Chain A
Amino acid sequence: MSGSNATLLAREVSRKFGHRHVVRDVSFEVRGGEFVLLVGHNGAGKTTLIRVLAGLLKPSKGTVTHTGDIGMVAHSSMLYDALTARENLAFYARLHDKNSPELVASLLEQMELAPHGDRRVGTFSRGMVQRLSIARALLPDPEVLLLDEPLTGLDDAASRIVRGVLTDLQQRERAVVVATHQLAELVDLASSVGFLVRGRLEAIEQIAGRSADEVMARYRELASND
């Protein structure tokens, strides 16, 4: 891992809560155009690692560096239920110094939410909230997009939209890191996979045409060796 030209670089990152280590000595890099899947059982540290990479949690040890803006899609939408979809995006656009109604309109269009732009988010279904949350994360046109279980609660049509967005990001040489259990739906997009076992990144390997079952078999093998 040279670290040169890396869009996102984590060096020996650890994070503990009290005396409990949730992430231990994780080092990896992601370059523009790469799509990394993070695989791990519940409690393996995926969400904590994503939050540390995003800068929302300070690492207890190690460093995270990145170029450009970071976008993040998490379990929670980071949206305000009392505001409309358009108002939510306009608010975040102002914070990102991109105060452009056209940008907001194009993101609503891209996520197929344009007809619902003036509805309050509190009235949205889970899938619509998730799509709007992705639109929020895309507002700064991030160099790195971090997603934590992005397909949870999405139907086939919504999953197709999200897959389209991720493919587009890859084509535009953006770095994408996705923590997920739903490997089958994303493994064909990924360029590499990181195996997180009890907070340690046991290996990060090229996907090389492996299926979701093969990736999970490899995960179980690494987990049993740990």
Chain B
Amino acid sequence: MTSFWAAALAVAAKDMKIEWRTKTAFASAIVFAVLVLAVFYFARDPTAVAALDIAPGALWVTFTFAAMLGLNRAFLLERENRALDGLLLAPIEPSAIFVGKLLGNLAFVGVVEAVSLPLFILFYDLPIWRQLPALILVIAMATVAFVAVGTLLSSMVVRTRFAELMLPILLLPFLIPPVVGAVQLTSRILSDRPLSDLAGWLKLLGSFDVIFVILCFFLFEATLDE
């Protein structure tokens, strides 16, 4: 039997290669991210609303909805020509497919975030270089939580006729806890609040990561049964 990590990395590398070659989801996600950041920027009256009041919400609306475009695509790839059957016929742990998809999705969302974050800083003219490591940590923690749930739900809805529609409907309720935590933390970080102010939300976000990843890992096999 192929080792767990070799299989997971093969699946992730394959997904990234296909996305690199087609760039369909990536282009959509980046265009969407730029559009949302621009809309939030131009909708704000700078004399009435401070940038810091709107920036955390704008950032997380951008990240979560842009990410959804990639999450949707993750298992649609496997629906094409029923490639998922090929994965299931291979002598690998089904959970290795989940981990591979999770890694591929994290890479996709990570790149979208890496492109969007400088634009966000630029649009809101935020002098946050000192707080940047903390902000990146929060982004990474929240991303792991919602990408884990998104990957699982993507595998659940892929056999339905309206997979693209179903994913956001099912995913959004699960996004509320980590995204609320991420918005709270982002707001505090951008306001340059002390580290002690962040500890509670960071622990909560960390807990979501552990719970979501473990739950999704063990539930994944059940989503494969026809």
Contact = CB atoms under 8 A, between A and B. Distances in A.
B225 A82 contact: no
B14 A56 contact: no
A136 interface: yes
Interface string A74-101: 1011111111000100011011110000
Contacts of A81: 80-81
B121 interface: no
B80 A80 contact: yes
Nearest to B19: A82
Max chain A C-beta neighbours (<10 A), residue from B1, B90, B91: B90
B2 A80 contact: no
A74 B2 contact: no
Contacts of A55: 88-89
A77 B88 contact: no
Contact of B81 (A56, A78, A97): A78
A83 B11 CA distance: 13
A11 interface: no
B77 interface: yes
Contacts of A112: none
Given A58-B225, A80-B77, A95 B82 contact: no
B10 A95 contact: yes
B47 interface: no
B83 interface: yes
Nearest to B14: A91
Contacts of B86: 78-79, 92, 136
A95 B90 contact: yes
B215 interface: no
